[in-house]
Amino acid sequence: MTGHRRLRTFDATNRYGLVILLIVLTYAVSAAASKRPFTSVVILVQLVTVWLAFSVSESRRAQRVAGGAIVAVAGVALVGLVVGGSPPPEAGADGLDATFFAISALLYLVAPVVILRHLIRRPVIDVQTLAGAVASYLLLGMMFAFAYRALGTVQTAPLFFGSDGSGTMSDDLFFSFVTLTTTGYGNLVPAANPGQSLAVVEAILGQLFLVTAVGKIVSDYGRRGRRPSEEPGSGQG
């Protein structure tokens, strides 16, 4: 029985690591993709990443909801593949893209919540917990990137990044993670609301997540297995 539990923990840890790897990989591919057919394929791969995140979280209800949403997004992506190219706005391309990215953003919003709920219920702090927290943090960055892309697709006056235009998926990914980590290069700035307010929310969530969730997990993980006599301030004599 103990060996079986260890095997399940090892498997779950590997899957959280796979989620992180897929996020990093699809970030790179998404940043390189420009035309809609390629973007649709890339985001379908990203949705597989979300499904894996739901699967690791061991939440059957969340898996059913995610499955239905992924089917819906897959349908939108299929339409994008059939349409192809960059049709003019009057052909409905903007509405299609906005719907696509909005649904994707919603999935990436729910995924870290489900993962964190799973981690909070776990009785131990281990490698799986740490990997899950990192995956949740990266998923938040992806979620905001999708939200910015959805806004940039429909926002016309002013364009999302003002004089820099509506931006590309690469721009939105870069801006999202720069904002999440509060790096603040300043080369890309939302020209108006709701983009500005959304960026503020992301910056606040990014800092709170690092300070509370990741910081607590790393701190507790560092003390795991330490004997009482090794704790700071527990000197003998």
Any residues with CB less than 8 A from the CB of 81 and at least 6 apart, and which? Answer: 37, 40, 41
Q: What is the pTM of this model?
A: 0.78
What is the per-residue pLDDT across 63-102, written as a single tens digit (0 to 9) for each? Answer: 666 666 666 666 666 665 555 544 433 334 466 678 778 8
What is the per-residue pLDDT across 176-233, written as a single tens digit (0 to 9) for each? Answer: 999 999 888 889 999 999 999 999 999 999 998 888 877 777 777 666 544 444 445 5
Q: Does residue 194 have a cis bond before it (omega within 30 degrees)?
A: yes
pLDDT of residue 88: 38
pLDDT of residue 138: 93
Q: How many residues does the chain have?
A: 237
What is the per-residue pLDDT across 163-183, written as a single tens digit (0 to 9) for each? Answer: 888 888 889 999 999 999 988
Region of 126 on the Ramachandran plot (φ > 0 left; ψ -120 to 50 alpha; else beta):
beta
Return mean pLDDT, the chain: 75
